[in-house]
Amino acid sequence: MSDLPPVTTHEWTHLPDADHIAAIRSNPARYSRGGLVHLVLEVVAYPVDEAESGTTDRVLVTLHGDGSISVEDNGRGTNVFFDEHGLPMVKPIMATRDVRFFDNPDAEVLPDGLPRTGMSVVAALSTWLIHENRRLDGAWTRRYEHGLPETALTEVEAGRRTGTVVHFRPDPDVFGDQPLTADELRPLLAAFRTAATIELGTQPSG
């Protein structure tokens, strides 16, 4: 394999880091104390980061009727590395720790007043998560279950748009069956300091 990108946010050599995911799932009370709202804020924080560099200006959060939640943005997509065989490797944000935030006492604080821990906590505390990633050089999707990849990285039709969709179903064994409501989430989404437009919608089941 050719040289991997430097570690700036995630360790590319850990694809995935099963021990990291197991550590989160073994102590769900510690990482779920912000409830469903905090999971959504963790995901939205990533396109908000992108908006600071001018690559994203729209984020759509959708509460689905089956209890799942999706966050879509129109940014440049998650970073992709191509190995010496030309095979893509998507930056492992779902199944490895974000070195900037996870268990870091100086981590950024999100609008709910709790520290940011990273996307891997969302994946680990979800029954399933589907990551769709669209870039100028291709588009891929992958499904995770309880934080670990369930499918291979699968190429999909690229189309003309770029960005990411993170669609996840919070684990009812951790959070219960009470769905998140728009009224709970709306004021905290509005509290993000960002130039991006953050929209909130609902999608009935069926």
Which three-class secondary structure state does DSSP give residue 182? Answer: helix
Domain 18-164 superfamily per CATH: Histidine kinase-like ATPase, C-terminal domain (3.30.565.10)
Task: Specify burial of residue 154 (Cβ count, 10 A radius: 0-12, 13-18, 19+).
Answer: exposed
The pLDDT assigned to 4 comes to 66
pLDDT of amino acid 152:
84
Condensed to tens digits (0 to 9), the pLDDT of residues 38-54 reads 999 999 999 999 999 89
Please choose, from the candidates 22, 80, 48, the residue with its C-alpha nearest in 3D space to the C-alpha of residue 190.
48
Distance between the two ends of the chain, CA-based, in angstroms?
A: 44
Q: How many residues does the chain have?
A: 206
Maximum CA extent, the chain: 49
So what's the pLDDT on residue 90? 78
Q: Scan for tokens 């908006």, then name that residue.
A: 51
Count the helix, strand and coil residues of the chain and give each as a percent rounded to the nearest 5.
Answer: 25, 30, 50
Q: Count of CB atoms within 10 A of residue 106's CB? A: 8
Residue 7 has a pLDDT of 64
One-letter amino acid for residue 42 of the chain: E
Please state the pTM of the whole predicted model.
0.91
- Domain positions in the chain are 18-164
Q: What residue ranges of the chain have pLDDT lower than 70?
A: 1-2, 4-7, 9-14, 206
Q: What angle do CA 2, 83, 73 make, to 5 degrees?
A: 130
| Helix residue spans in 7-90 (DSSP H) | 18-25, 28-31, 35-52
Q: Tell me what pLDDT residue 196 has.
A: 96
